[in-house]
Structure formats: structure tokens, C-alpha cells
């Protein structure tokens, strides 16, 4: 076993892990932060998306030990300090950007990464950025609408490509 330390949602944490322990398992099993989901485990679906040093990563494809010293943000750290939903989360609720909710943590984390890089993306940019996030309920239109709304832009009816 190896010791690993990192910052998760602003809090310093550490734990004992194996070489093969994935970041997503460290978050879910060691820290009991089960908001980050595992949808595929093959790097395809993005349900496990978290931020690592301000960049989106698939936590199922990062070794916990490779995150030594990193600054990690998960869905549990997204709400406002008073517990109310963040702008992006609220927009997902307002625009019905979720159905079963399984992909939602990853979608919200991807959206947050996008809006940090590009505060007012075009609809095409939103769709392109969500390339690595799959919604099995296929509610993409409302997810795109929610992100457009969260960026403070007008939400127009969207059509598939």
C-alpha cells in the first residue's frame, strides 16, 4: 500500500491505496464521495468527470497515486456555500437537463470546465465540448439548453445536427 494526499473540494485529504487504485475509487470508496459515477469504466462515457488542477479528467482513467498533490473538484463541491444549487446545477433543474441523473455529475463538471474556459460558448461549442459525456437517456437538447442558460445566454429551441 502507498500513502496518497491531495486536496478534494478545498479540503486536504489522504489515504492508503494500492498502485492500481483509480482516482474514482479513492473518491467513492475511501472518501465516500459517491456523487462521481462510474458509467463505463472504459474511458468512453464521462460520468466520472472531475476537475484535476482546474482541468476536466475522467477519474476512471487516472491512478489515485498520479493525483498526489493535485487539486480535485467533484460534484459534491459544486453547490454554493449556503447549500443552494450553483448556477449550472440550477439551470439543469430549470431546463430539465436530467432524466435518470446518472450522467449528470459528469455533465455538470464538464459544463463547469467549459464555462471557465469559454464563458459564453456557442451552441456548437457546447456540443463539441460534451463529446466525451454520454447521456444514456439521450437528453442532450435540454443539457445544451441548460448550459446556454447557465452562461447567461438566451435559450433558443435547438435542433439536432
Partner 1 sequence: MYDFDFIRPASVEDAVAALATDPEAIAFSGGQTLMPAMKQRLASPSAVVSLTGIAALKGLRDEGGRLWIGAATTHAQVAREAADSYPALASLAGRIGDPSVRARGTIGGSLANNDPSACYPAAVLGSGATVVTDRREIAADDFFEGMFTTALEEGEIVTAVIFPRPARARYEKFRQPASRFPLTAAFVAQFDDGVRVAITGASEGGVFRWTEAERALTGNFAPESLDDIAPPDAEGMISDLHGSGAYRAHLVKVMTRRAVANA
Footprint of ligand FES (CB under 6 A): 38-41, 43-48, 58, 60, 98-104, 135-137, 139
**Residue placing its CB nearer to ligand FAD in the complex, 45 or 147:** 45
DSSP 82-142: TSPPPHHHHHHHHTT--SS-SSHHHHHHHHHHHHHH-SS--HHHHHHHGGG---TT--HHH
**Residue 18 interaction partner, one of ligand FAD, partner 1, ligand FES, none, beta carbon < 5-8 Å per kind:** partner 1
**Residue placing its CB nearer to ligand FES in the complex, 82 or 109:** 109
Residues 121-140 that bind ligand FAD (CB under 6 A): none
Residues 32-61 that bind ligand FAD (CB under 6 A): 43-44
Q: Grid coordinates representing 26?
A: 479513492
CA 131 and chain centroid, separation: 13
Amino acid at each position: 500500500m502507498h500513502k496518497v494526499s491531495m486536496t478534494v473540494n478545498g479540503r486536504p485529504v489522504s489515504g492508503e491505496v494500492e498502485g492500481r487504485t483509480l482516482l474514482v475509487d479513492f473518491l467513492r470508496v475511501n472518501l465516500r464521495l459517491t456523487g462521481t459515477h462510474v458509467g463505463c469504466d472504459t474511458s468512453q462515457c464521462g460520468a466520472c468527470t472531475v476537475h484535476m488542477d482546474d482541468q476536466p479528467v475522467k477519474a476512471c482513467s487516472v491512478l489515485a497515486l498520479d493525483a498526489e498533490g493535485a487539486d480535485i473538484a467533484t460534484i459534491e463541491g459544486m453547490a454554493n456555500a449556503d447549500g443552494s444549487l450553483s448556477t449550472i446545477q440550477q439551470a439543469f433543474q430549470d431546463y430539465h437537463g436530467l432524466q435518470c441523473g446518472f450522467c449528470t455529475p459528469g455533465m455538470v463538471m464538464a459544463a463547469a470546465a467549459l464555462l471557465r474556459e469559454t464563458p459564453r460558448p456557442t451552441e456548437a461549442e457546447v456540443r463539441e465540448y460534451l463529446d466525451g459525456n454520454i447521456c444514456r437517456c439521450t437528453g442532450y437538447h435540454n443539457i445544451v439548453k441548460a448550459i446556454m442558460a447557465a452562461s447567461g445566454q438566451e435559450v433558443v429551441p435547438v435542433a439536432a445536427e
